[in-house]
Structure 1
Amino acid sequence: MTGQNPLLIEWTTPFALPPFTQIRTDQFPAAFDQALREHEQEIAALTANPDAPTFANTIDALELAGQKLNQVGGVFWNLTGTDSTEELRAIEREISPLLTRHYTAISLNPDLFARVAELYRRRETLTLDEEQARLLELTYKGFVRTGAQLQGAARARYAEIAEQLTTLETEFAQNLLADETDFLFELEETDLAGVAEDVKAAAAQTAKDRNTTKPYALTLQRSNVEAFLSQSSRRDLREDLFKAWIARGENPGKTDNRPLIAQILALRQEKARLLGYETFADYKLEPTMAREPRAAMALMEQLWAPALRGAEDERAALQQIVDEEGGNFPLAAPDWRYYAEKLRRSRYALDQAELANYFQLERMIEAAFHCAEKLFDLRFQQRRDLPVYHPDVRAYEVTDGQGRHVAIFYGDYFARAGKRSGAWMSGFRGQRKLGGEERPVIVNVMNFSKPSPDRPSLLSLTEVMTLFHEFGHALHGMLSDVVYPSMSGTSTPTDFVEFPSQLYEHWALRPEVLQKFATHHETGAAMPQAMIDRIVAARHFNQGFGTVEFLASALVDFKLHWRPDAPEDIGAAETEILTGVAMPAFMVMRHRSPHFGHIFAGEGYAAGYYSYLWSETLDADGFAAFEETGDIFDPETARRLRDNVYAAGNRRDPNVAYAAFRGRAPDTAALLRKKGFA
């Protein structure tokens, strides 16, 4: 089977890329089974080594173990996000608890931990470089944080909790995908009053693809929903679509995520207590930049009051438009985006539909590549000869200015059935030098509207920022230059990992970039300077709304996890938290709990959604370093950024890494200025 299953053999494709055309879904179970056995044998050999533990025979060996499992998983988990089918979902439900059981057994292996602990005890006597010293510390603490010091019943219970959580989190993600995939908002031509032609074209294509009874259809993809909510003059339809959008994951029936949330929260709190922490938030924040919950909460509270004031001022301005137009109703959440666009047009002469004419997807991809070339001396060449996992996916070889291979980059830009909503960066292979140089294979996944035969894919301002954001993550993965695989790329604390991505957003709407790449899709004319000036002038527009919308989700996440008990009724708990912070009635949190995949479809951002705000402090202050030079592509600043952030992975404490780039600790004043609150 090993010789026949393409997931298990050594790939002879260019750059050792996955041979997608040879891979079938039914090959994954056998591949996982074989890869799991090989990893178990590698760990057994490591622990059976009669020699005293050394860094090479223990830490190096641990880092190199499981390569086959990483190869199989790299393909599987990317496909479950981008091209999910019922067959893939069934395998995911089966394999997720098996993988958790496997990795939990490793973290609880007493012989393995004894070897690591012995090295950690003698760490001051070992001759280690900076990366090795940090790796040893993180490896030891990683074992402790995953139960290695537990004994008896507590040890057994920890393993049970880990497996139960994986099962529940997988079910949460699949329920959410089902709600997003199954829903269709079917429309007639008369229902599209005020909607831009590119949005209409995308809705027509969706209707055609899904064989609907009406000529137009929208899904619950954020780009579809926000475009309709911003443009449609039909208040009744905006309200219907908005209700469906915020109800994802809490529709009665088999996809209702509310019962799962209660169980997930209870198990996370129990796990934290088993490990000696008062709450899950205390456990989760220990290895982050924030260190402990009060630091994260202090930052959120610092922004909450000025954000509320800003949102209230914005609401009053929008209500005035409603009243002037004769609307006999108070502004509600489904109305906000529509009237905000009216205000944007009147105040700054900016129309999102007009702006979209200049934001062609192809040109914005070029813009992102151009900035990477100017900053980091990278080149992107599309390779149509490389294997891809879907016809829409593009493959690029990334090289440096001397022609040396850096990475393979996949761009997967268009929404389709079976693709998880949102946008993200992932990888089929990470970077490492241990055991031989291996360069990364990175993917950006988006959900933009696919172009029609006679019209290109046009992006909103928000979507342009999303493209640059995810490409910032991609650069973090592609530029990685470390020895050890567990230290590479984006393997950093969550409140630092968003810094490289959010920092890269700053280049998207700079005049130097817009003048070159924002061209009208029909005439080819460059965006007028007057329009660029208006974009710059409007940079603080709607910041109150955006910050409150985000912070409401961050506060709910944090307060749910920063309590010793888990609520049984998630809806009531959410309401209680929002009431306690005076959440405005005319707004809804950006991600309501039943569809909050960041924190309930996995543990990565649980008690950590605040990370985006923490990283925003870094990105505002970090971009100021370029502005202070008078050149947003200043070579010396870019070199420090590359060496200490994008290339450095997790080889040093992120607080130290940031200071090495900036020359000091971050200043929160830059964040207040960025948002227009100071």
Structure 2
Amino acid sequence: MTASKTFAPEALPLPSENPFAAAWTTPFGLPPFAAIKPEHIRPAFEAALAKHKDEMAATVADPAAPDFANTIEALERAGRALSRVGGVFYNLSGADTNEALQAIERELSPITSRHWSAIMMDPALFTRIDAVFAKRETLGLDAEQKRLLERTHRGFIRSGAQLGADDKARLAAINERLAGLGTQFSQNVLKDESSYALIIEDEAGLAGLPPFLLAAMARSAADRGHPGKHAVTLSRSVIEPFLTFSTRRDLREEAFTAWGLRGENGGESDNRAIVAEMVKLRAEKAKLLGFATFAHFKLDDTMAKTPENVRGLLELVWKPAKARAAQEAADLAALAQAEGENGPIRPSDWRYYAEKMRQQTYALDEAVLKPYLQLDRIIAAAFDVAGKLFGLSFAERPDLKGYHADVRIFEVTETASGRHIGLFIGDYFARASKRSGAWMSAYRGQRKLGGEVRPIIVNVCNFAKPAEGKPALLSIDDARTLFHEFGHALHGLLSDVTYGSLAGTSVSRDFVELPSQLYEHWFLTKEVMQTYCLHAETGEPIPDALIETIKRAQTFNQGCATVEYTSSALVDLAFHSLEEPGEIDALAFEKAELSRLGMPEGMVMRHRTPHFTHVFAGDGYSAGYYSYLWSEVMDADAFNAFLEAGDVFAPELAGKLKRFIYSAGDTRDAAEAYALFRGRLPTPDALLEKRGLAA
């Protein structure tokens, strides 16, 4: 049976058994995950693409003279069915994928690329947009409407709307190929991650490992068909603590090698040729659009503006970071030598000896600290900070079902009024069906055009799942990651704009990390740690002395951490600053660039090129991995404002933060937004101090 031809904007002309055939009557419009099967996705996508195409054609064919309502707002109203289908599909593809979804993703990536190229390069559509833009000062637009018009016009130009027919065709072909390559890159990395396991069968292989890690490794082994044994997987929540605590240098080397070789193992999952082709195509795309390099193209629409500005910031921290890392390496080598290990520190040794050094220097043992960092309590801490800063309340809704048994769903409300703000989905544990890392995404974004629509936001993490009946314990880095991603979530949840294109995290790439990185600061405050860091067995709050030790230790190993990160950002920038890439060897280029930079011995990039998903699994952070450091300049300075106020929850500052940063989306220029909150633009001083790199 085919559904009626009269639809809500998001409904599609599909057989009634397809969940996308009608508007969802679930609470809050939550996707009916249990009803959505892989076989529903492809027909829904095809119908949604066709519907969006018809909506665009109707806008172009409108006989009325182009104006803001019939052209710009028409674009905003269009594509709601496509957004609904894509919101479900792309989130599942990252967080709970399978072979069927991956096959659909490979099939759809070139199709959706062609669809968007046709829209963004449609000469008749751009003529209408251009006509509205030309008379923008006479239309009586408010600030948000003017911003939307400017961003829309600029977006079409950057997508090739002003190119000639031949160049449009070539750009569309490049975009289509890049979409397919990015999808394949991501799937290759996931394949290498999920297929690897170092099975440890004897007690000797477990030497030095703390109980929390043994439990996680036992579960990983059981999940892979090896009950009663232990497995080192390439999930960060397993491999990083294994490299930190294992006394078996041979096993650390074996696991670290596998970790570093993701995407370059040969065979079908090898990403080296994909990288080379993507760099070449991106350079050609930039030239078509009138830019010297892809880096110039990408950065032209950011706060940084130019590759020179980015390189200036990166090099500002690179020199002191290298000097600090060299001293750290010497200290670790001396420690290793004292224990009978001669020779330089290898990359697979660094975490192990750094942990020993940290224990000696600060008496800070990760295994002792972890029981104070229970996942449920850190979640509660993140919620409580949002309550104190922004007046939000969070209530878990076990009656709402997610896409996996581990998923938890919370209703978010405004504490004072009880007004519904949105839904927050938390998906915290690692599994083979989930890509590595941590991220925030949206099943539905916020908007007011056509009626208030509140967001459905998800945080996905990869923490080690505990044994049945035991609490999940986090590391300090895990806890900061949770706060980081929840900062992104708040950016989506608090969004309060009219137009969906400007909502939430739809901001400049080097501004989007500010709300997330800033939020991390609250986790390390005494106010939060004393309340929420309670020992898993005794219930005792974390001692004041341990809190102070944690704070003092924040600059420990920062030379290494900064070198790992900054080298990745500089290699990303170097790839995308090539004017004529030609037939490049991706690994040879990476090696040559690291040599030019003077990469310290015994250290590796945080993300080596063949598994650098930020940069090559799509276009998000290409020529933009520097963004974390750019935003860190702002987050260090921004939190200092609260410290200067003498209250980490200072109400007036929190109000400004909510109004100008977390709720404002892309309704104004990023630098202007920051200045409205802080009263001025930041300088790098607070960043250097935060990382312990100040002179």
TM-score between both structures, scaled by the size of structure 2: 0.97
Q: Contact conserved, 1:21 with 1:389, CA < 8 A, in 2?
A: yes
Residues 118-157 of structure 1 mapped to structure 2, 5 A cutoff: 118-157=131-170
Specify the alignment match of 1:278 in structure 2: 292
Q: Distance in 2 between matches of 1:505 and 1:89?
A: 33
1:217 to 223, 231, 247: 231
1:518-533 equivalences under 5 Å are 518-533=533-548
Deviations 1:578-609 (Å, cap 9, x if unpaired)?
00110012100000000000000000100000
- Distance between the aligned counterparts of 2:348 and 2:30, measured in 1? 45
Secondary structure of 1:94 counterpart: helix
Partner of 2:184: 171
Aligned to 1:619: 635
Q: Residues 307-386 of structure 1: matches in 2 within 5 Å?
A: 307-386=321-400
AA matched with 2:611: H
Give the 3-state SS of the residue equivalent to 1:602 in structure 2. coil
| 2:244 counterpart residue number | 230
In structure 2, the residue matched to 1:21 is 34
Distance (whole Å) between structure 2 residues aligned to residue 213 and residue 432 of structure 1: 49
How far, CA to CA, are the matches of 2:628 and 2:297 in structure 1? 19
Q: Secondary structure at the match of 1:357?
A: helix
Q: Mean alpha-carbon deviation: is it higher for 327-336 or for 344-353? A: 327-336
Total equivalences in the alignment: 678
Contact 1:186 1:214 in 2 (8 A): no
The equivalent of 2:674 in structure 1 is 658
Does residue 582 (structure 1) correspond to residue 598 (structure 2)? The answer is yes
The answer to whether the Cα contact below 8 Å between 2:438 and 2:481 also exists between their aligned partners in 1 is yes
Moved over 4 A (4+): none
CA distance in 2 between counterparts of 1:95 and 1:203 reads 36
Deviation at 1:222, TM superposition (A): 1.4
Cα distance in 2, alignment partners of residues 58 and 411 from structure 1:
37
Q: Does 1:78 align with 2:91?
A: yes
Cα displacement string for residues 23-54 of structure 1 (whole angstroms, at most 9, x for unaligned residues) = 11101111011111110110000000000011
Partner of 2:588: 572
Measure the CA separation in 1 of the matches of 2:341 and 2:178: 48
Aligned to 2:117: 104
Q: Does 1:498 align with 2:513?
A: yes
What amino acid sits opposite 1:114 in the alignment? T
Determine the structure 2 residue equivalent to 1:463.
Answer: 478
Name the structure 2 match of 1:644.
660
CA distance in 2, matches of 1:206, 1:486: 41
Per-residue deviation at 1:136? 0.6
Quote the Cα distance in structure 2 between the aligned partners of 1:156 and 1:628: 55
Distance 1:213 1:413, change over 3 A: closer
Structure 1 residue 453: Cα displacement: 1.8
Residue 459 of structure 2 corresponds to residue 436 of structure 1: no
Read off the aligned partner of 1:257 and give its amino acid letter.
N
Q: 2-side partners of 1:274 and 1:443: how far apart?
A: 37
Identity level (%): 54
* Deviation at residue 147 of structure 1 after TM alignment: 0.5
**Counterpart position of 2:430:** 415
Is it true that 1:36 corresponds to 2:36 in the alignment? no
Determine the structure 2 residue equivalent to 1:191: 205
> How big is the shift at 1:454?
4.2
State the Cα distance separating 1:354 from its structure 2 match.
Answer: 0.8
Letter in 1 for 2:368: E
* CA displacement 1:221-240 (0-9 Å, x = unmatched): 11211110011011111000
Indicate the residue corresponding to 1:260 in structure 2.
Answer: 274
Deviation at 1:213, TM superposition (A): 7.2
Residue 152 of structure 1 deviates from its aligned partner by 2.3
SS, match of residue 314 in structure 1: helix
Residue pair 2:232, 2:255 contacting (<8 A) in 1 also: no
CA distance in 2 between partners of 1:32 and 1:281 (Å): 32
| SS of match in other structure, 1:244 | helix
Deviations, residues 146-202 of structure 1 (Å, cap 9, x unaligned): 010111211110111010110111111111110011111111232111111011001
Offset from partner CA, 1:426-450 (integer Å, 9 cap, x none): 0100000001100000000000011
Contact 2:412 2:424 in 1 (8 A): yes
Among 523, 536, 553, the alignment partner of 1:538 is 553
Contact 1:8/1:72 (<8 A) preserved: no
- 1:283-302 CA-to-partner distances (Å, cap 9, x unmatched) read 00011000111111100010
Shift in Å, 1:498: 0.2
How big is each residue's C-alpha offset from its partner over 1:481-538, in whole Å with a ceiling of 9 and x where there is no partner? 0000000000011100000000000011111111001111011111111111111111
| 2:8 corresponds to 1:11 | no
2:407 is matched with 393
Aligned to 1:246: 260
Contact 1:18–1:387 (Cα < 8 Å) also in 2: no
Which amino acid is 2:143 matched to? E
Task: Give the distance between the partners of 2:382 and 2:120, measured in 1 at CA.
Answer: 40
Report SS of the residue matched to 2:511.
helix
Where 1:266 maps in the other structure, the secondary structure is: helix
Q: Which consecutive residues of structure 2, in runs of 5 or more, have no partner in the other structure?
A: 3-13
Is the 2:222–2:228 Cα contact (8 Å) retained in structure 1? no
Query: 1:279 Cα deviation (Å)?
Result: 0.1
Q: Work out whether residues 8 and 68 of structure 1, in 8 Å CA contact, stay in contact via their aligned partners in 2.
A: no
1:4, 1:193 → 2: CA distance? 54
1:393 shift after superposition: 0.2
Q: After the TM superposition, which residues 478-493 of structure 1 pair with which residues of structure 2 at under 5 Å, given as runs?
A: 478-493=493-508
Distance in 2 separating the partners of 1:465 and 1:375: 18
RMSD value over aligned CA atoms? 0.9
Structure 2 counterpart of 1:91:
104
Q: CA deviation at 1:332?
A: 1.1
- Partners of 1:187 and 1:214 within 8 A in 2: no
- Whether the aligned pair in 2 keeps the contact of 1:198 and 1:455 (CA below 8 Å) is no
- Output the TM-score relative to the length of structure 1: 0.99
SS of 1:134's partner is helix
8 Å Cα contact 2:218-2:228 kept in structure 1 = no
SS at match of 2:393: strand
Tell me by how many angstroms 1:214 deviates: 6.5
